[in-house]
Structures are given as C-alpha cells and as structure tokens.
Amino acid sequence: MSDPIETPVSRRLASVKNIIIVLSGKGGVGKSSSSVQLALSLLSLSPSNRVGLLDLDITGPSLPRMVGLDIPEATVHQSSAGWVPVYVDNQKRLGVMSIGFLLKDRGDSVVWRGPKKDGMIRQFLSEVRWGELDYLVIDTPPGTSDEHISLLTHLHPLFSPTPTRPTIPSSILISTPQTTALNDTLKSLSFTKKLQLPVNGLVENMSGYVCPCCNEISYTFGNNGNTERIFRDQNHLEVLGKVPIDTVLVGLLDSVSKGEMNVDVERTQKGIEGEKSNG
Ligand code: ADP
C-alpha cells in the first residue's frame, strides 16, 4: 500500500496506535460519560497503556468536569513543540485536551461559526503533544455537525493503513433505548457509512434502572428489543454492551465536578482487575 500524503495532523498522530471516535445521534444520552469510561477501561487493559481523551465538543465541553479537572490549576501549557495536555494522574497515563482548559473563565460560552471551530479542531489534532499513545478517544458533539466533518477531513490521511500504523480510525455509537434516540443514531450510522468510518458497535446507555435496594431492573425506556432489532439484525452492528442508569455513577460525576475527588487511575485499574479475578 502506498504511503498517504503526510500532513501536520498525520505527523502528530503517527505516535498514536488507535483512534476511537465516540458518536451519538442525540445529546444527553451519555456520550461524554461513556468516553470517559471507555478511556479508563482502555487504560486498565494494561499497566503500560497510555490513553488520550480529546474533547471536540467545542461549544459544550464537559470532559474537564467529568475527570475532575474543572479547576483553575488545570491549564494547557504551550511549549515550542506544541500544547501539553492536562494529565489526570501523576504517572501521565491519561491525558485530556479540551477547549474548556483554554477558556479564561470556565463559565464562558463559546459562540463560534464553522470555520473557527474547524481551525480549533485542526490545532487540537496537529498541535497536542500526546507522545506515544495506545488509544486516543475522541468525544464529539451530538449529531453530525461541522465538528464531525472537520474531524474526519483532517483525519483523512490516516485512513490508509501503513506497516507502522496498521489500524485506521474507527468509531463507537452511544444511544439510549428510546425510539427517538435510536432513530437519531441511525443518522449517525448513515454518516459513518458515507464517510467510510468503521463502526465497532453500539453501546446502549441508560438501559434500565437497577434498584439500589433490591437490584431489580426497571426498564424506564421500555425493553422491547428495538436496539438489537434495528442495529444488530437490520444493520449487522454489534451491540457491545448495555449500561444501566447508575446512581453511583451520577454521584461520582457530581463529586468530581465539584473538585472534591479526582479520578484515581490506579484505583480504577485495581478495581477492574479485582472484578476480573473474581470472575
Ligand atoms: P452526552 O455527552 O450524550 O450529552 P453526558 O455524558 O453528558 O451525555 O450525560 C448526560 C447526563 O447523564 C450526565 O449528567 C451524566 O452524569 C448522566 N449519565 C450518563 N450516563 C449515565 C448512566 N449510565 N447512569 C446515570 N447517569 C448517567
């Protein structure tokens, strides 16, 4: 296979082994929460794994809050070699980049038209010094907007595999089981087909509610098998998993957002390893 044309983006991302783009048709379905959980899970696969989390929700960045970095000290440093991401842990295994870190006041709104967003996305892809990464998880805004088109345009040179980078960028879809969310997710799926972006599968979030008292599951949005019917049977897409509404998760994200707790990468890893060894 011939080498694709080199660009500042392809040069910068040459040290990233896998790129996973997280998509959803609708807002509020848990895409950003899932991106954070995906990044932590990938980190836990191996003690040597290094993961980057890139927030492309330019007008509504939420990753800094979700990883406990919505604090004034969390700022991006500019060096001659590029932007240094903000690290969640001391070992620098999980780095995060978001426009939220660049705002003077975290409460500021970003009201930008397409070309300015495109410039920011190009900078994020070409100027962040991730170093060697096993995975770069990219959280995108809901739907299929300017940000998605910019992202895939800039990533285009990476869609030709090379011997040093055999995997090409791929995606994961997040949806709740509600019919409106599933229908909107079909639009995201159609977008991936048009742009030839591989899809690893779909995660159904907020699948049901586990009662903290009796562990019984209530299917708040119905349990009619629509996700499997529409995505697995009709579109040959794997349903990767189902995540219930989890009051513990909400509590954790809330306490993180107040800066009371930081994501403990090492503890998360030990917890997951413990669960694995307990079968
Ligand atoms: P999106 O990125 O799709 O807009 P978010 O990840 O910001 O959605 O999630 C929206 C809200 O739902 C957040 O307050 C988040 O804490 C909550 N949430 C997401 N997934 C779950 C879940 N499985 N259980 C409980 N709350 C969740």
Question: pLDDT of 143-165, one tens digit each?
Answer: 998 999 999 999 999 998 877 77
**Of 74-83, 102-111, 188-197, where does mean pLDDT reach its minimum?**
102-111
Task: Quote the ligand 1 centre to 185 CA distance (angstroms).
Answer: 16
Q: Measuring from atom 19 of ligand 1, which residue has the nearest CA?
A: 30
Confidence of residue 81 (pLDDT cuts 50, 70, 90): confident
Task: Quote the ligand 1 centre to 253 CA distance (angstroms).
Answer: 9
ipTM above 0.90, yes or no: yes
Element (H, E) at 95: strand 94-97
pLDDT top residue among 218 and 19: 19
How much is the pLDDT for 162?
A: 79
Q: Measuring from atom 23 of ligand 1, which residue has the nearest CA?
A: 245
Residue 16: C-alpha distances to residues 135, 139, 150, 172, 201 (Å): 6, 16, 19, 18, 21
Is residue 166's pLDDT more than 90?
no
pLDDT above 90 covers what percent of the chain? Answer: 58
Confidence of residue 98 (pLDDT cuts 50, 70, 90): very high
Q: Which amino acid is at 186?
A: L
* 181 Cβ contact list (under 8 Å, min separation 6): 24, 25, 26, 29, 175
Q: Which amino acid is at 126?
A: S
222 is in an annotated binding site: no
Residue written as token pair 């190009």: 122
Helices (H) and strands (E) in the chain, counts: 9, 11
**Mean pLDDT, residues 52-56:** 96
Rounded Cα gap, residues 152 and 154, in angstroms: 5
CATH number of 8-277: 3.40.50.300
The model's pTM is: 0.89
